[in-house]
């Protein structure tokens, strides 16, 4: 079983997307020519960018993973 990071629904391990909300269950690189994507390498859940090519990950695209670039100037304490 794989728990969806967006809605916490338990999905079958073979599912690639959540059957409840449609979010991806596996974080991968979004660049078509990246070896990580071509070899179906799963990235850690927290990865917003691919460590190999620097492209956004699937979780970043769906808003599941975030990065410091997502913080607006209004949110900074200084």
The pTM of the full predicted model, rounded to 2 decimals, is 0.81
Beta carbons of 57 and 47 less than 8 angstroms apart: yes
Give the residue ranges of the chain where pLDDT is below 50. Answer: none
Task: Identify the pLDDT of residue 15.
Answer: 96
Task: Identify the pLDDT of residue 14.
Answer: 95
Task: Identify the pLDDT of residue 55.
Answer: 97
Beta carbons of 27 and 58 less than 8 angstroms apart: yes
């Amino acid at each position: 079983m794989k728990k969806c990071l967006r809605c916490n629904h338990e999905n079958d391990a073979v599912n690639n997307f959540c059957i409840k909300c449609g979010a991806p269950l596996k974080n991968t690189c979004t660049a078509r020519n990246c070896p990580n994507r071509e070899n179906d390498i799963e990235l850690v859940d927290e990865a917003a960018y691919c460590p190999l090519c620097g492209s956004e990950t699937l979780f970043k695209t769906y808003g599941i993973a975030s990065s410091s670039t997502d913080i607006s100037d209004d949110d900074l304490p200084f």
